[in-house]
Amino acid sequence: MMGLLVLGLLIWVGAHIFKRVAPEQRAAMGDKGKGVVAVALFISLGLMIWGYGGVEFIPVWYPPAFMVHINNLLMLVALFVFGMSATTGRLRGKMRHPQLTAVKIWAVAHLLVNGDLASIILFGGMLAWAVLEVILINKAEPVWDRPQPGEAKKDVLLVVITLVMYAAISAIHVGLGVWPFPG
């Protein structure tokens, strides 16, 4: 199962950086290439979920219980930052790579509360991918055309959506048997 997790992670990284490391080949694929990349990403997610869910638990370190509180706070921040990529409010354009920054926050949050080998591979691998992706994007496109900010009320909507998404993701974790709140 560890092999499936690693394979899924490698496909995820490869599919995402393909456009950056082989732009001519990706461009030659045209619109059909988007479908190929989407299928690769779908397969990679399935492999990572299946592999992570079935892998033997191999403890590497034992996170202290208080880390759950830090994880939960970081997850709220990650969801908010991720949402900044779609906002049309005042926060629009405050951050160049909000989705990738959110992945970094998400990965660090999960590394703080999961000390097993599979978690270190999955969340550490996603963290490394997000860092690499930002480097590759900034190298390929060094100039960023910052979008103009919009209305402040859209930022309020972002907060509401963040809280709803946090509740939904927490419910999914509970449904999977992972209680995300300290008792």
Boundaries of every domain in the chain:
1-56, 58-183
What are phi and psi for residue 127, nearest 5 degrees?
-65, -45
Residue 183, pLDDT score: 65
Type and span of the H or E element at 54? helix 30-54
Structure-token pair, residue 30 = 């045209």
Residue 23, pLDDT score: 85
Q: Spell out the per-residue pLDDT of the chain, length 183, in tens.
A: 999 999 999 999 999 999 889 888 888 888 888 899 999 999 999 999 999 999 999 999 999 999 999 999 999 999 999 999 888 888 888 899 999 999 999 999 999 999 999 999 999 999 999 999 999 999 999 999 888 888 888 999 999 999 999 999 999 989 888 888 876
Quick check: 16 and 129 in contact, CB under 8 A?
A: yes
What are phi and psi for residue 89, nearest 5 degrees?
-90, -165
Q: Is 11 helix (H, G, I), strand (E, B) or coil?
A: helix
User: CA 10 to CA 40: how far, in whole Å?
Assistant: 10
Q: Exposed/middle/buried for 108, CB within 10 Å: 0-12, 13-18, 19+?
A: middle
